[in-house]
Amino acid sequence: MSPQSNQQQTRRGLLKYLGLLAGAAALPPVLNSCSAESASTSEQSRFPPELSSSLAKPLAAAGLNPHRVALVKTTDRAAGVRQAIALLQPPSFKQKRVFIKPNYNTGDPAPAATDPVVLETLVQEIQAAGASAITVGDRSGMANTRSAMAQMQVFNLSQRYGFNTLVFDELSRDDWQYFAAAGTNWSQGFAIARPVLNADAIVNVCCLKTHRFGGHFTLSLKNTIGMVARYVPGDDHDYMRELHRSGSQRLMIAEVNKTHRPSLIMIDGVDAFVGGGPEQGRRVQAGIMLASTDRIAIDAVGIAMLRKLGTTREVSSGSIWDQAQIRRAADLGLGAVSSEQIELVTADQGSAQLADEIRQFLV
């Protein structure tokens, strides 16, 4: 298909989305905990049946492709965020308490961490959409979280826009929700920050990069690890040490994503690490912004972009759908299970051409 015809098709699709938007139901987060009594022992889906149903049904019922990914070719982060959200048309944030989970593993410049422009633009868009409250929080893996957030201007922005901030390392024991080990590769289960789970809508804000410490790539599925406790007060188990020493690390990454469903996922790929990562690596200008409601679909597109740019052997080898993070997430029913399900939504010729190029690597 030519870029021109692809562009025409995309515009027709966007008009259809806008027409159907009024009937689209908001997707509530899944807050159920895993239990030994209800956990399935099958390898295909080892979580309770109520957590294993397709998370895409509300969108599908509204006539929208639940696996769509908005793609904007850009080097302007603010414009890219706005255009991607407008293309995607995610569930409404009106009167919702929104939790934004950025990537502050460290306070190093993007793509190591979420760029301040991305956070500021997202806050502007979510406030304009009528959110009742916004909270921004994270837990760093390689730095002091409060220092990393300060370095990335989070507290300055919170004063300017009136949103709340949370440093997960400073939460009390009661602020963590445990999920049982049954049906997972976590020896003692894991704990997720309750303020994330209690939000009406979760926004997962990611960078485009590889991961040299066993994750292979760190996109939306991996960004969720920042919601997981390293330590819970009164519990001396080091959950992050277990994760990074485990041969099942990439499966464990996918498994924590079963605890919730994001309302919006953004990947800032204006710049990317195609080697190294997560805090430093071989940096290239990728010139792309992605948005989706499907973690698997957007991560698959992110991996395809890394492959197009030239990346590590671990990320470039085999089918994207055989990558352990992707395969386990698909087995758990978290999103797309094949490239055929993914719809790339664009609105200009340059983005449509880039989408055509990425599709060649989306296998």
pLDDT digits (tens, 9 = 90+) for 155-211: 999 999 999 999 999 999 999 999 999 999 999 999 999 999 999 999 999 999 999
Handedness of CA 201, 207, 208, 211 (dihedral sign): negative
Decide: residue 130, CB within 10 A, 0-12 exposed, 13-18 middle, 19+ buried.
exposed
CA distance 55 to 148: 33
Give whole-number Cα distances, 100 to 6, 20, 185, 196, in Å. Answer: 33, 26, 27, 8
pLDDT of residue 64: 79
At 81 the pLDDT is 98
DSSP 8-state class, residue 348: S
**Is residue 57 a contact partner of residue 293, using CB atoms and an 8 Å limit?**
no
| H or E segment to which residue 100 belongs | strand 97-101
The confidence score (pLDDT) of residue 15 equals 37
Residue 177: CB atoms within 10 A of its CB come to 19
Q: What are phi and psi of 332, to 5 degrees?
A: -85, 0
The bridge status of strand 190-193 relative to strand 343-345 is unpaired
As a whole number of angstroms, the distance between CA 359 and CA 344 comes to 9
The residues pairing with 150 across neighbouring beta strands, listed in sequence order, are none
pLDDT at 62: 56
Distance CA(154)–CA(158), nearest Å, equals: 6
Cα 59 to Cα 73: distance, rounded to the nearest angstrom: 25
Q: Angle, nearest 10°, between helix axes 116-128 and 77-88?
A: 40
Task: Confirm if 187 and 83 have CB atoms less than 8 A apart.
Answer: no
What's the pTM?
0.84
Residues of the chain short of pLDDT 70, as ranges, are 1-63
**Cross-strand partners of 333:** none
The position carrying tokens 């290239």 is 284
> For residue 273, what are its two tokens?
């690490």
Which residue in 287, 284, 303 sits closest to 342, CA to CA?
303
Alpha-carbon Rg for the chain, nearest whole angstrom, is 19
Predicted local confidence at residue 24, as pLDDT: 33
Q: What is the pLDDT of residues 201-233, one digit of tens each?
A: 999 999 999 999 999 999 999 999 999 999 999
Domain boundaries along the sequence of the chain: 67-360
For domain 67-360, which CATH number applies: 3.40.50.11440, 3.40.50.10470, 1.10.10.10, 1.10.357.10? 3.40.50.11440
Cβ count near 325 (within 10 Å): 27
